[in-house]
């Protein structure tokens, strides 16, 4: 991916892209399981922005304690 600053690129790869792709993956997994005549499985939605921010905070804490 070109044209992004490093921070923007990390956010795009860590939160935006997974958040965009997850609903499609969830639908595909559900469809395959249902077509296989297994009990339906509904994967819970995931807030990738919150996970990304949590990961950033953990990295900052780890950096601060290492110094």
Which of 14, 8, 18, 23 has the alpha carbon at shortest distance from 54?
Answer: 14
pTM for the full model?
0.78
- Coil/strand/helix, residue 17: helix
Residue 28 tokens, joined? 């595909």
CATH number at residue 59: 3.10.420.10
Count how many domains the chain has.
1
- Inside any domain, residue 48: yes
Answer yes or no: is 3 within a domain: no
Identify the pLDDT of residue 42.
85
Does 49 fall in a domain? yes
The two structure tokens encoding residue 1: 């991916």
In three-state secondary structure terms, 9 is: helix
**Does residue 9 form part of some domain?**
no
Domain for residue 10, yes or no?
Answer: no
Residue 57 belongs to what domain range?
A: 16-66
Mean pLDDT of all residues in 29-47: 93
pLDDT (tens digit per residue) in 5-28: 999 999 999 999 999 999 999 999
Q: Name the nearest CA neighbour of 18 among 26, 7, 29, 30.
A: 26
6 in a structural domain: no
């Amino acid at each position: 991916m070109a044209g992004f600053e490093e921070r923007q690129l990390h956010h795009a790869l860590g939160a935006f892209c997974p958040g965009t792709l997850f609903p499609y993956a969830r639908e595909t997994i559900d469809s395959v399981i249902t077509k296989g005549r297994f009990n339906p499985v509904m994967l819970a939605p995931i807030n990738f922005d919150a996970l990304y921010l949590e990961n950033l905070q953990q990295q900052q804490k780890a950096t601060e304690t290492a110094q």
